[in-house]
Amino acid sequence: MNNKKVCVLGGGGFVGRSIVNKLEKAGYAVRILTRAREHAKDMAVLPGVEVVEANIFDPADLQRCFAGMDVVINLVGILNEDKGSRIDLPMARRGDFHEIHVELARKVVHACAATGARRLLHMSALNADPNAPSAYLRSKGLGQAIVLESAMQHSEHEKWYLDGPKFVHAYGLDVTAFRPSVIFGREDSFINMFASLLKIAPVLPLASPDARFQPIFVEDVAQAFVESIENPASFGKAYDLCGPKAYSLLELVNMVNDMTGSQRKIIGLPPQLSWLMAAIFEHMPGRKLMTRDNYDTMKVDSVCQGNLPAELKLNLRSIEAVAPEYLARFDQYRDYRHAAGR
């Protein structure tokens, strides 16, 4: 039985649910912070899990929630900005890269320092870099830099932060950052989005068909987080996380086409048309299928160099091994083919 307390921001999301499940099984007491209890209601039924509604962008509320915690895990992130909708909400709560990936990372670091929660695990993204070609990757890169800087024992610039009545030194935390390529799993929004599109579109025009990815299974990402928590070898490090094999986007979508039995025609678009498609989709109402910032993100191959570090103890699962099971729900003729022995 583990008696450590872990606070997870974004614990009700796709990756968060896998991490929280593993933490709970390992005996940690988990507190999920969410904007709305409804978003994490499935997790609230687990005996070791508490779901707390909080305004994570308010430093005082963060400190209230981190009090008594040993570990903080920050998974909050967005792929696209959403500045227009719900103007009754402040920008951060609607969706702003800088507020969510940079300022929140800074607030989390300060709240950890203020409350004595020394262990911080931070979700970044592969290719996150302040000089990356997309706003998403640049903001993720800045957030990651803030978090890793807090692992240092002192600041080169002697920065001290005002926190209520006392000064707080936001350094000397035990931090680890994780930089995954695209993540797949039953509730992912990447593979499932293509499976849904292939079901309804007779022909699929595909933007950025040559973009490369090395998808990693959500349970493997969760394993990396949980394995690292108490391993000092991971302190101060940023891990690139990838699955066993790299693919072009066209190869991936063809694979989904086969796994769902959709048999659609997929047409890879050249760069100018890919950009145009992104620009059009960006202005469509509802969930964004693609934006120009996504197009810019895909200019850099989302693949890893070298092997995963042994200390993460990962036994990576491939998309071919895992996805057919969860994509079966898109294949209406699967049972007929099975019965016909095909």
Ligand X SMILES: NC(=O)c1ccc[n+]([C@@H]2O[C@H](COP(=O)([O-])OP(=O)(O)OC[C@H]3O[C@@H](n4cnc5c(N)ncnc54)[C@H](OP(=O)(O)O)[C@@H]3O)[C@@H](O)[C@H]2O)c1
> Quick check: 40 binds ligand X (CB under 6 A)?
yes
In whole angstroms, the minimum distance from the beta carbon of 74 to ligand X comes to 8
Q: Of these, 28, 66, 190, 217, which contacts ligand X (CB under 6 A)?
A: 190
DSSP 323: H
Interface with ligand X by CB under 6 A: which range of 75-83, 106-114, 267-275, 283-291?
A: 75-83
Q: Reduced to 3 states, what is the DSSP secondary structure of residue 177?
A: strand
φ and ψ at 212, to 5 degrees?
Answer: -115, 145
Interface with ligand X by CB under 6 A: which range of 14-22, 111-119, 160-168, 247-255?
A: 14-22
> What would the two tokens of residue 166 be?
């006392």
> Quick check: 59 binds ligand X (CB under 6 A)?
no
- Read off the amino acid at residue 231: N
Do 237 and 227 contact (CB within 8 A), yes or no?
no
Q: Which is nearer to ligand X, 123 or 145 (CB)?
A: 123
> Quick check: 143 binds ligand X (CB under 6 A)?
no
Residue 14 to residues 191, 209, 272, 290, Cα–Cα distance (Å): 13, 25, 32, 19
CA–CA distance, 48 with 83 (Å, rounded to integer): 36
CA–CA distance, 153 with 67 (Å, rounded to integer): 22
Q: Of these, 6, 73, 75, 112, which contacts ligand X (CB under 6 A)?
A: 75
β-partners of residue 8 are 32, 73
In whole angstroms, the minimum distance from the beta carbon of 63 to ligand X comes to 17
How many residues in the chain? 342
| Residue 65 neighbours by CB under 8 Å, 6+ apart | 7, 31, 33, 52, 54, 56
Q: Which is nearer to ligand X, 109 or 182 (CB)?
A: 182
> What would the two tokens of residue 132 be?
């990356």
> Quick check: 14 binds ligand X (CB under 6 A)?
yes
- Ramachandran quadrant class, 27 (left: phi over 0; alpha: psi -120 to 50; beta: rest): left
In whole angstroms, the minimum distance from the beta carbon of 78 to ligand X comes to 5
In whole angstroms, the minimum distance from the beta carbon of 182 to ligand X comes to 4
Q: Of these, 6, 76, 142, 259, which contacts ligand X (CB under 6 A)?
A: 76
Interface with ligand X by CB under 6 A: which range of 110-118, 178-186, 311-319, 334-342?
A: 178-186
> Quick check: 95 binds ligand X (CB under 6 A)?
yes
Query: What distance, in Å, lies between the first and last C-alpha atoms of the chain?
Result: 49
Q: Of these, 5, 8, 16, 21, which contacts ligand X (CB under 6 A)?
A: 16
Q: Which is nearer to ligand X, 16 or 244 (CB)?
A: 16
For ligand X, the binding residues (CB under 6 A) are 10, 12-16, 34-35, 39-40, 75-78, 93, 95, 100, 123, 125, 180, 182-183, 190
